[in-house]
Structure 1
Amino acid sequence: MARIPHPLVARARRLAAELLLPEAEHVDQEGVPPGHVEAVKRSGLLGVAAPVDHGGSGAPPAVLREITEILAGACCSTWFVQTQHHTPVQMLAASGLPVRERLLGPLSRGELLSGVAYAHLRSHGRCPVRVRRRGDGWRFDGTVPWYTGWGLNDVLLLAGATDAGEVLFAFAEACEQPGLRASAPMRLAALTAARTVSLELDGLWLPAESVVLRTPYETWAAGDRARTRNTGPAVLGVAEGALSLLAEETAAPLRARLAGVRRLAYDLADHPVPHERTGERLAVRAEAYDVLRVATTAAVVAGGGRAMALSSRAQRLAREGLFLLVQGQTAETREAHLRTLTASGGVTAARDPGGAD
């Protein structure tokens, strides 16, 4: 008997089929339009993992992963704008601070869309954003190198490092204001459409009531490292999108390989101890990237000269694949991926992870 999909998965498939995929090449060249954001807000997908008592769906991680694959495979730029939202929701749900009651409901119900500005924390020791006490609030100074969704997000989750070795996360309005100025949108090889800018912080002051988390850097970093070792569902979604462009006899062996990677990756993601089996997680992650590379390359080859046109879905997916190679990257994942790429035998070693820790 066929499995009945979760209602939000069915909704994601309709959104992808009726709006995201038909418009993806246009969006890639012109930018994610506000209409796409409004459609995502109306869909309920922004509350997939949010608490039911605040208007969310409280769905299990497997549902969020499946939705991620669907959206990323249809329009990676739109997926990337909306995926920023889930971290603030999860952080608010776990917080006991006053900002939880102010923002968790609107974010869970899709009334507001949040972006994130915290990847720079992975450069701890040379973190470009510093936070200091100022009166009954906090002052932020420095540069956020990457912020996605500018002009589309309603609020942003901003993080910086304190002189006491802590990291502090707080919410701000996602607009220019005293102490916060955005650069012009960046021109990138892929996902320019997601409206990425850098943010200059020069004395941005946020009240204590905007803070959602304040914790030692190592506490936060340990959880962040554990998350980034896992395979991103978007990688599998873009690979699936590329395979859909191939003849079935060409796609079949790659689709079987992708299914095997998906099974391993999600079994590891569901492992109850996130800090265990590190080697296996990194190996499967590298294997997923190799499937993505082969799938997107095959789509370009099958498309021939037409694949070089900016209106080609194949070349868009190939460029999005390049983006996903570095999205969410840490020093650990970069070094592990490079070791795999340069090792004798390549990524095929990941298929038999018997020596994983």
Structure 2
Amino acid sequence: MTTAPHPLLPTARALADDLLAPHAARVDQEGVPASHLNAIRRSGLLGVSAPKEYGGAGAPDAVAREVQEILAGACCSTWFVQTQHHSPVRLLAQSALPVRERLLGPLATGELLAGIAFAHVRAFPRVPVRATAERGGWRFDGRVPWYTGWGLNDVMLLAGVSEADEVVFAFAEAREQPGLRASEPMRLAALTAARTVSLSLDGLWLPDDAVVLRTPQEEFALVDQPRNTNASPAVFGVAYAALQVLEDAGERETAAALRGPLDEVRGQVYHLAEHPVPYERVTERLALKTRSYDLMRAATTAAVVAGGGRAMGLDGTAQRLFREGMFLLVQGQTAQVRRAHLDALAEI
């Protein structure tokens, strides 16, 4: 379960073992504390993929994936808040617009923590958020169904679709302001702790210098596809954590029987993630993703079964991992991913 050595990997493991995992049950019930995120800010993990010249680590994608595995397996709620940060960092690193110089350094060093409000763009041709050019900037109207980390993030990467079917990405402060109102945090079957809200946008105006990218919707869909067709590192993090629960319960044979296939699929997923054309071999990516789901589900179910009635306690690790696995089945889900998963389940 390791890549080539990198100094951020022992940092992530120490953070997971010493802080995140010991408090995961409490966080699950009470919410992700700012202190957890402050520890991640100080660790340098928020800049794992950011350019070195802006204060980041410039680490290979393989290292970034393993960091996400480690954090997700220790405390999936904390992982989910901080994982939002990495998409804005990558987008800024690829941008030549002025906002890069203003925000990339603070985001790379952890001075600022970012969230994302653009998953709704995947609903196209439905347009939940409309972006309209206005007064030397852009006006955003509509509803963001899901925004994670409200009250914890400093800035958000917001996207809307223009009348010309252009996706406009711009940064805004992650707080209530004229034209932006948040719902109460949602109560969910899993990861309520991550403080997910919906956002109502009614004339939120952002200046041109807040824009990081404008791109045709068709081009965005092509670039965005690998984010959903590849299995998330969090799936493997939660699955491996469940196998550890099994081993701790004395069920080493069952854990070993599941670990072999899990290692194999993980290797295949990550090998394909390095393919030079990320939007090719989609059918294979989806098949591996659904296989990853199967193994995660088997591992978390086995952890619950091994724990018996004790596993039903809200302070139990097995039931928490089971619920977190359920969440990961639909996290970032698109119609294409849903169809592939349901078709695979229908063949069981």
Aligned to 1:280: 284
Residue 106 (structure 1) aligned with residue 106 (structure 2): yes
Name the aligned partner's letter for residue 38 of structure 2. E
What is the TM-score of this pair, normalised by structure 2? Answer: 0.97
Distance 2:166 2:3 in 1: 46
What is the TM-score of this pair, normalised by structure 1? Answer: 0.95
Residue 20 (structure 1) aligned with residue 24 (structure 2): no
User: What's the offset of the Cα at 1:4?
Assistant: 6.7
Over 3 Å counting, the alpha-carbon distance change for 1:284 and 1:300 in structure 2 is same
User: What's the offset of the Cα at 1:43?
Assistant: 0.5
Name the aligned partner's letter for residue 258 of structure 1. L
**Alignment gaps of 5+ in structure 2:** none
Q: Tell me the secondary structure at the aligned position of residue 143 of structure 1.
A: strand
Distance 1:292 1:148 in 2: 23
Aligned to 2:232: 232
Distance 2:287 2:4 in 1: 32
Aligned to 1:353: none
Q: Tell me the secondary structure at the aligned position of residue 245 of structure 1.
A: helix
Alignment partner of 1:306 out of 310, 322, 335: 310
User: What's the offset of the Cα at 1:250?
Assistant: 1.6
Distance 1:124 1:15 in 2: 39
C-alpha offsets along residues 129-172 of structure 1, whole Å, 9 cap, x if unaligned?
Answer: 00101111110000000000000000000000000010000000
Distance 2:133 2:283 in 1: 40
Aligned to 2:75: 75
Work out whether residues 3 and 66 of structure 2, in 8 Å CA contact, stay in contact via their aligned partners in 1.
no
**Alignment gaps of 5+ in structure 1:** 347-357
Alignment partner of 2:344 out of 319, 323, 340: 340
Distance 1:229 1:127 in 2: 22
Distance 1:184 1:227 in 2: 28
Distance 1:309 1:60 in 2: 40
Work out whether residues 139 and 204 of structure 2, in 8 Å CA contact, stay in contact via their aligned partners in 1.
yes
- What are the equivalent positions in structure 2 for 1:208-219 lying under 5 Å apart? 208-219=208-219
Q: Tell me the secondary structure at the aligned position of residue 168 of structure 2.
A: strand
Over 3 Å counting, the alpha-carbon distance change for 1:213 and 1:289 in structure 2 is same
Q: List structure 1 segments (4+ residues) > 2 angstroms apart after TM superposition.
A: 2-5
Aligned to 1:35: 35
Q: Tell me the secondary structure at the aligned position of residue 205 of structure 1.
A: strand
User: What's the offset of the Cα at 1:273?
Assistant: 1.4
Over 3 Å counting, the alpha-carbon distance change for 1:126 and 1:242 in structure 2 is same
Aligned to 2:298: 294
Work out whether residues 131 and 161 of structure 2, in 8 Å CA contact, stay in contact via their aligned partners in 1.
yes
Q: Tell me the secondary structure at the aligned position of residue 131 of structure 1.
A: strand
- What are the equivalent positions in structure 2 for 1:142-161 lying under 5 Å apart? 142-161=142-161
Work out whether residues 3 and 63 of structure 2, in 8 Å CA contact, stay in contact via their aligned partners in 1.
no
Q: Tell me the secondary structure at the aligned position of residue 245 of structure 2.
A: coil
Aligned to 1:127: 127
C-alpha offsets along residues 17-46 of structure 1, whole Å, 9 cap, x if unaligned?
Answer: 000000000000000001001001000000
Distance 2:279 2:189 in 1: 34
Distance 1:144 1:85 in 2: 17
Distance 1:112 1:290 in 2: 36
| RMSD of equivalent CA atoms | 1.0
Q: Tell me the secondary structure at the aligned position of residue 188 of structure 1.
A: coil
Aligned to 1:319: 323
Aligned to 1:59: 59
Over 3 Å counting, the alpha-carbon distance change for 1:216 and 1:142 in structure 2 is same
Work out whether residues 56 and 108 of structure 2, in 8 Å CA contact, stay in contact via their aligned partners in 1.
yes
Aligned to 1:264: 268
Name the % identity.
Answer: 66
Deviates more, 1:120-129 or 1:107-116: 120-129
**Aligned length in residues:** 343
Name the aligned partner's letter for residue 226 of structure 1. P
User: What's the offset of the Cα at 1:258?
Assistant: 0.6
Aligned to 2:190: 190
Name the aligned partner's letter for residue 18 of structure 1. D
Distance 1:3 1:262 in 2: 12
Distance 1:229 1:143 in 2: 25
Q: Tell me the secondary structure at the aligned position of residue 244 of structure 1.
A: helix
Distance 1:155 1:256 in 2: 41
Q: Tell me the secondary structure at the aligned position of residue 212 of structure 1.
A: strand
